[in-house]
C-alpha cells in the first residue's frame, strides 16, 4: 500500500497529465487510428530533441534553454546541404557531419558564457537563445545576398536580400524515416528513426556509467565538493553543454527531415520551450531527468497537442481555446516546475542552516 | 580639467558613451540623406514617452533585491483589461484614459501582490520563474480573450468569430489623448507634450518614493538583506512592496503605451514586453542588483532613440527592415552582458 502511495506521489505530474489527456481524448472523440498515427509521427520527430536535455540536467546546469543553438547549427548545415543538393540518407549523414563542428563551436561558446553565470544558467541560456536567433536572422536575412555572395533561386528571391522564408527540403524529406517503415492500419512506424532514438537512449544510459559521466553527476550534486575532489568543474560543465548542443543539432535534423520544409526564420524558436515542457511533463525536475521521463513526457505532451483543439471545440465550442490551452500548458508547466524547484531548494537550505545553528 | 573629464566618464560609463557616439554618427549620416532629422527626433520623443514607464518599472524590483522583473506581462495584462473595459463603454478622451488607469491600478496591486507571494518563495530564481509566469499569464489570458463577456461590436469578431479581435483600434476612444494634449511644433520637431508630462509625473512620483522612509528601507533590503533583517526591517514586506510597485507601473505603462501606439494588441501581443524594458534599464547603466531612476530615464532615451533613428538610416543603406533584428540583438546582448557580469551573489 505504501509502495503504491510512493509511486503515485513520485509520479504526480505525469499522472495528472495522463488524466488531462484522457479527458481530452474522451471529449475529442477522435478515431483511435488517427491519434495513433499522429502520436507515432510526433514521437519520432521530437524524442531525440527531448533526450538532448538530459546531460546538462545531470551536470547541475538545469534545463538547457540553449538547445536553440544546437537547432541553429542543424539548420545552417541543412541550408548548405540544400544548396549543394545533398539527398537521401547519405546526404542526411553528411549534413549531420557538417552540423557537428558548428554545434561543438556553439556549445563551447555557450559553455564559456554559462560558466560566467553560475546559478542562473537557465535565464542566461534562454536569453542566449534569443540573441543567437537575432544573429542568425541578421546573417541569413541581410548578409546573405548582399555581403555574402549567394545565388541559388531555390533558396533566394533575387530581388531582395536574405533567404526565402520557407525552404523545401524535398531531397532530404523522409531520408531517415523512409528507410524502413512498418505499416499498421494507417500508421507508418519509421523503424530506423526509432532505432536511432533507442541507440541514443542506450548511449546516454551507458555514458553515465563511464568515468566522465560520473564526474558530471558529481559536479551536478555539488560543485564545491567536486572541485575539492579534483574534478575540473568548468571543463565538465562546458563538455555537458557541448554534448547537449550537438545532440540538439542532430535532433533538429531528425525533426526537419520528418517535416520536410524548413521555416528559415522560425523553425527553431520554440524548440527549447516545447522540448523542456515535454521533459517536465514526464516528471523530470530541474535537477533530475531520466530517459523514461523524457520519453513518457514526449508522449503525453504530444497527445495533449493532438487532442486539445478538437477537445476545445467539443467543450468550449472553439478549437482556438484548445490551441491556446496547450501553449498555456507548455509555459505553465515550466513556470510551476521552476517555482517548485526554487521553493524546495530554499526550504532545504533553510533547514540545513537551522541544523547548523542547533548543532 | 582632466580629472573632471574622467569623473564624468566614470559616471556615464563606456557603454553609454559608445551608444551616444553611435547615435550621433547615425544622425550625421541622416542629415546627409533626404531624411528629416527633426522628423526622426519627433518619432524618438514619442517612443521615449511610450516606453519610458515600462523601463521605470524595473527600478523598484531591482532595488528591492528581486532583480530584473521579467514578469512584466503580469502588470501589462492588468493595463489591457483596464483599457478594454473603457473601450467596451465607449469612453472617449480623458474619461476613457482615466477610467482605464483607475481600473488597471487596483487590478495591478492585486496581481502584483499574488505575484509577490510566489516570488518571495522562490528567492534566488526570481528572474527565471518571473519569465515563465509572465509567459503563462499571457497564454492563459489568450483563452480569456476568447471567452470574455465583451459585447461592443467594435471589439469582437464580426459574424461567426468567437471572442475579441487580435488588434483593436483606439482611434475612436482614447488613442493619442496624452500625445495630442498641448502638442506643439518647433523647428519641425513635434513635441508630444502631454505624453512627456505624464511620463515626467510618474518619474517624479517614483523618485519621491525613494526619498521616503519606505523607499529607503526598500533599498536597504535590496542592497544588504542581512543587515536589513538585523535592523528589524521585514524582507518579505519590502520585497512585496517593490514587486507591487513594479507591476502597477507596468499597468500604467501599458495604458500610456496603448494610447500613444493607437492600438491594443491582444493574444500574443504582450508576450515579449519585458525584454526591451529590461534591456532599456541595463543600457541606462543599471545592473541586476542596482538601478536608479536616472538609469531608467537615460536608458529609455538612448535605446528608443537608437531604434527609431537606426531603422530609416540603415534603410537608406541596405534594404529590408533591420530595426526588429537590431532590437533583438542589442537588447538580448545587453541582458547577456548583465547576467554574465560578476555580481557577487548567486541570483537568477
Quote the pLDDT of residue B318.
64
pLDDT at A359 over 50: no
SS3 at position B184: strand
Mutate to test the interface with A, among B74, B132, B279 (most CBs of A within 10 A): B132
pLDDT of residue B347: 42
Q: What is the pLDDT of residue B343?
A: 53
A-B contacts (CB, under 8 Å): 140
Cross-chain CB nearest to B118 (options A133, A146, A339):
A339
* Residue for grid cell 546526404: A91
- Report the C-alpha gap between B119 and B129 in whole angstroms: 8
Query: Taking a C-beta distance cutoff of 8 angstroms, is the pair A261, A75 a contact?
Result: no
Most distant CA atoms of chain A, gap in Å: 75
CB B32 within 8 A of CB B24: no
* Contact between chains at B70 and A123 (C-beta distance less than 8 A): yes
Mean pLDDT of A257-276: 86
A168 phi and psi, to 5 degrees? -80, 125
Burial of A87 (0-12, 13-18, 19+ CB in 10 A): middle
Q: Name the residue ranges covered by the structural domains of chain A.
A: 52-295
Give the one of A138, A161, A338 whose C-beta lies nearest to B325's C-beta: A138
Tell if the CB–CB gap between B133 and A317 is shorter than 8 Å. Answer: no
pLDDT digits (tens, 9 = 90+) for B261-285: 989 998 888 988 999 999 999 988 8
Taking the CB of residue B28, how many other CB atoms lie within 10 A of it? 11
Phi and psi at residue B124, to the nearest 5° = 105, -25
Chunk chain B into consecutive blocks of 10 residues (it has 348) and report each block's average pLDDT, rounded to whole numbers. Answer: 77 79 85 82 91 95 92 94 91 90 95 94 86 93 88 79 83 84 83 92 95 92 87 90 96 94 89 90 88 92 87 69 79 87 50
Mean of pLDDT values over A235-259: 95
Counts for chain A of helices (H) and strands (E), in that order = 14, 4
Contact across the interface for B143 and A138, Cβ inside 8 Å: no
Residue A168 in this model has a pLDDT that exceeds 70 = yes
Q: In the predicted model, what is the mean pLDDT of residues A51-66?
A: 92
B77, B129, B138, best to mutate vs chain A, most A CBs in 10 Å: B129
Residue B348 maps to a domain: no
Q: What is the mean pLDDT of residues A242-269?
A: 91
Mean pLDDT of chain A, nearest integer:
88
Among B143, B322, B339, beta carbon nearest to A117: B339
Average pLDDT over residues A337-348: 81
Of A134, A135, A331, the CB nearest to B135: A331
Q: Give per-residue burial for A317-349: e unless 16+ CB within 10 Å, then b.
A: ebbbbbbbbbbbbbbbbbbbbbbbbbbebbeee
Closest residue in B to A143 (Cα) is B318
B337 to chain A: which residues are within 8 Å by CB?
none
Between β-strands A187-190 and B263-265, what pairing exists: parallel, antiparallel or unpaired?
unpaired
Question: What number is the average pLDDT over the span A19-44?
Answer: 89
Closest CA to B154 of B90, B97, B96, B95: B90
Say yes or no for a CB contact (<8 Å) between A128 and B336: yes
| Ramachandran assignment for B319, one of left (phi > 0), alpha (psi -120 to 50 degrees), beta (any other) | beta
Could A120 and B132 be called an inter-chain contact, meaning their C-beta atoms sit closer than 8 Å?
A: no
Dihedral angle of Cα A146, A150, A153, A154, to the nearest 10 degrees: -120
The whole-number pLDDT of residue B166 equals 87
Picking from B122, B162, B333, the nearest residue to A343 by CB comes out as: B122
Identify the closest residue of chain B to A334 by CA–CA distance: B132
Q: b/e string for A242-273 if b means 16 or more Cβ within 10 A?
A: bbbbbbbbbbbbbbbbbeeebebbebbeebbb
CB of A126 closer than 8 Å to CB of B131:
yes
B123/A346 Cβ within 8 A: yes
Give the DSSP letter string of B99-113. Answer: HHHHHHHHHHHHHHH
- In chain B, residues with a C-beta closer than 8 Å to the C-beta of A328 are 136, 139-140, 142-143
- Chain B residue set in contact with A, beta carbons under 8 Å: 70, 118, 121-125, 127-129, 131-133, 135-136, 138-140, 142-143, 146-147, 162-163, 267, 275, 318-320, 322, 325, 328-329, 332-333, 335-336, 339-342, 346-348
Residue B346: the pLDDT is 43
User: B266: Cβ–Cβ under 8 A, 6 or more apart, which residues?
Assistant: B80, B142, B145, B164, B165, B166, B167, B168
* A73/A55 Cα distance (integer angstroms): 19
Domain assignment present for B66: yes
Nearest-Cα distance to chain A for B325, in Å, is 6
Q: How far apart are the first and last CA of chain A?
A: 36
Please count the other Cβ atoms lying within 10 Å of the Cβ belonging to residue B229.
12
Average pLDDT for A349-357: 65
**Residue B67 backbone zone (phi > 0: left; psi -120 to 50: alpha; other: beta):** left
Q: How far apart are CA B24 and CA B51, in angstroms?
A: 21
How far is CA B7 from each of CA A292, B11, B22, B282, rounded to the nearest angstrom? 59, 6, 22, 21
How many structural domains comprise chain B?
1
Contacts of residue B332 in chain A, CB cutoff 8 Å? Answer: 127-128, 130-131, 134
pLDDT over threshold 80, residue A355: no
CB distance A135–B329 less than 8 Å?
A: yes
- Number of Cβ within 10 Å of residue A357's Cβ equals 7
Cα dihedral A204, A210, A215, A216, rounded to 10, equals 0
A135 interaction partners in chain B (CB closer than 8 Å): 329
**Candidates A119, A328, A334; nearest CB to B348:** A119
Which pLDDT tens digit goes with each residue over A68-109?
A: 999 999 999 999 999 999 988 999 999 999 999 999 999 999
Query: pLDDT by residue (tens digit) across A182-213?
Result: 888 888 899 999 999 999 999 999 999 999 99
* Cβ pair A68, A39 in contact under 8 A: no
pLDDT surpassing 90 at residue A251: yes
> How many whole angstroms separate alpha carbon B134 and alpha carbon B113?
14
All residues of chain B having their beta carbon less than 8 Å from the beta carbon of residue A286 are none
CA-based nearest distance A87→chain B, Å: 32
How distant is the Cα of A351 from the closest Cα of chain B, in angstroms? Answer: 14
Tens digit of pLDDT for each residue in B100-121? 999 999 999 999 999 999 999 8
- Supply the pLDDT for residue B345: 44
- Predicted confidence band at A264 (pLDDT cuts at 50, 70, 90)? confident
Which DSSP category does A168 fall into?
E
Range of the domain at B285: 15-30+37-182+193-340
pLDDT at A357 over 60: no
Residue B293's CATH number: 1.10.3470
**CA atoms of A12 and A348, how far apart (whole Å):** 21
Mark yes or no for CB contact A338/B123 under 8 Å: no
Amino acid at each position: 500500500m505504501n509502495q503504491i502511495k510512493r509511486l503515485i506521489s513520485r509520479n504526480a505530474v505525469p499522472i495528472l497529465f495522463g488524466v488531462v489527456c484522457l479527458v481530452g481524448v474522451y471529449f475529442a472523440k477522435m478515431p483511435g487510428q488517427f491519434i495513433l498515427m499522429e502520436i507515432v509521427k510526433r514521437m519520432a520527430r521530437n524524442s531525440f530533441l527531448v533526450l538532448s536535455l538530459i546531460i546538462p540536467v545531470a551536470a547541475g546546469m538545469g534545463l538547457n534553454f540553449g538547445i536553440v543553438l544546437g537547432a541553429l547549427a542543424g539548420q545552417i548545415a541543412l541550408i548548405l546541404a540544400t544548396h549543394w543538393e545533398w539527398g537521401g540518407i547519405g546526404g542526411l549523414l553528411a549534413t549531420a557531419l557538417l552540423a557537428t563542428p558548428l554545434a561543438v563551436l556553439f556549445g563551447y561558446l555557450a559553455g564559456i558564457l554559462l560558466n560566467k553565470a553560475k546559478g542562473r544558467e537557465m535565464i542566461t541560456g534562454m536569453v542566449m537563445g534569443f540573441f543567437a536567433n537575432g544573429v542568425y536572422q541578421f546573417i541569413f536575412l541581410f548578409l546573405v545576398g548582399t555581403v555574402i555572395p549567394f545565388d541559388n533561386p531555390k533558396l533566394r528571391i533575387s530581388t531582395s536580400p536574405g533567404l526565402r522564408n520557407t525552404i523545401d527540403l524535398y531531397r532530404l524529406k523522409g531520408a531517415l524515416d523512409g528507410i524502413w517503415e512498418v505499416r499498421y492500419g494507417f500508421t507508418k512506424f519509421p523503424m530506423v528513426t526509432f532505432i536511432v532514438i533507442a541507440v541514443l537512449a542506450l548511449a546516454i544510459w551507458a555514458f553515465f556509467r563511464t568515468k566522465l559521466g560520473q564526474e558530471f553527476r558529481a559536479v551536478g550534486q555539488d560543485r564545491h565538493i567536486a572541485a575539492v575532489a579534483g574534478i575540473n568543474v568548468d571543463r565538465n560543465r562546458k563538455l555537458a553543454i557541448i554534448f547537449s548542443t550537438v545532440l540538439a543539432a542532430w535532433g533538429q535534423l531528425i525533426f526537419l527531415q520528418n517535416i520536410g520544409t524548413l521555416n528559415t526564420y522560425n523553425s527553431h524558436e520554440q524548440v527549447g520551450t516545447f522540448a523542456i515542457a515535454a521533459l517536465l511533463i514526464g516528471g523530470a525536475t530541474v535537477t533530475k531527468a531520466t530517459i523514461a521521463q523524457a520519453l513518457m513526457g514526449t508522449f503525453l505532451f504530444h497527445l495533449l497537442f493532438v487532442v486539445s483543439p478538437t477537445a476545445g471545440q467539443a467543450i468550449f465550442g472553439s478549437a482556438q481555446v484548445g490551441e491556446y490551452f496547450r501553449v498555456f500548458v507548455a509555459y505553465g508547466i515550466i513556470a510551476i516546475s521552476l517555482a517548485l524547484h526554487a521553493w524546495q531548494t530554499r526550504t532545504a537550505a533553510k533547514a540545513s542552516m537551522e541544523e547548523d545553528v542547533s548543532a | 580639467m582632466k580629472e573632471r573629464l574622467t569623473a564624468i566618464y566614470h559616471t556615464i560609463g563606456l557603454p553609454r558613451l559608445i551608444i551616444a557616439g553611435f547615435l550621433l554618427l547615425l544622425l550625421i549620416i541622416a542629415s546627409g540623406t533626404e531624411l528629416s532629422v527633426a522628423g526622426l527626433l519627433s518619432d524618438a520623443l514619442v517612443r521615449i514617452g511610450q516606453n519610458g514607464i515600462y523601463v521605470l518599472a524595473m527600478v523598484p524590483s531591482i532595488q528591492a533585491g528581486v532583480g530584473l522583473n521579467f514578469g512584466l506581462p503580469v502588470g501589462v495584462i492588468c493595463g489591457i483589461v483596464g483599457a478594454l473595459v473603457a473601450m467596451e463603454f465607449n469612453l472617449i478622451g480623458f474619461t476613457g484614459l482615466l477610467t482605464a488607469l483607475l481600473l488597471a491600478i487596483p487590478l495591478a496591486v492585486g496581481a502584483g501582490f499574488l505575484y509577490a507571494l510566489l516570488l518571495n518563495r522562490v528567492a534566488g530564481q526570481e528572474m527565471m520563474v518571473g519569465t515563465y509566469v509572465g509567459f503563462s499569464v499571457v497564454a492563459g489570458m489568450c483563452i480569456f480573450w476568447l471567452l470574455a463577456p465583451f459585447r461592443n461590436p467594435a471589439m469582437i469578431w464580426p459574424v461567426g468569430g468567437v471572442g475579441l479581435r487580435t488588434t483593436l483600434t483606439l482611434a475612436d476612444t482614447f488613442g493619442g489623448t496624452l500625445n495630442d494634449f498641448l502638442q506643439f511644433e518647433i523647428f519641425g520637431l513635434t513635441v508630444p507634450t502631454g505624453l512627456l508630462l505624464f511620463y515626467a509625473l510618474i518619474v517624479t512620483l517614483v523618485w519621491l518614493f525613494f526619498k521616503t522612509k519606505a523607499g529607503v528601507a526598500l533599498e536597504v533590503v535590496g542592497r544588504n538583506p542581512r543587515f536589513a533583517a538585523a535592523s528589524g526591517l521585514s524582507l518579505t514586506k519590502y520585497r512585496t512592496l517593490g514587486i507591487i510597485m513594479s507591476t502597477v507601473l507596468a499597468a500604467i505603462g501599458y495604458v500610456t503605451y496603448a494610447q500613444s501606439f493607437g492600438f491594443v494588441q491582444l493574444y500574443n501581443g504582450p508576450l515579449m514586453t519585458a525584454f526591451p524594458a529590461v534591456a532599456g534599464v541595463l543600457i541606462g547603466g543599471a545592473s541586476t542588483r542596482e538601478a536608479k531612476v536616472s538609469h531608467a530615464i537615460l536608458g529609455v532615451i538612448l535605446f528608443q532613440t537608437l531604434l527609431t533613428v537606426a531603422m530609416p538610416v540603415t534603410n537608406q543603406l541596405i534594404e529590408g527592415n533591420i530595426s526588429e533584428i537590431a532590437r533583438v540583438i542589442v537588447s538580448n546582448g545587453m541582458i547577456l552582458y548583465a547576467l554574465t557580469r560578476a555580481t557577487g551573489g548567486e541570483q537568477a
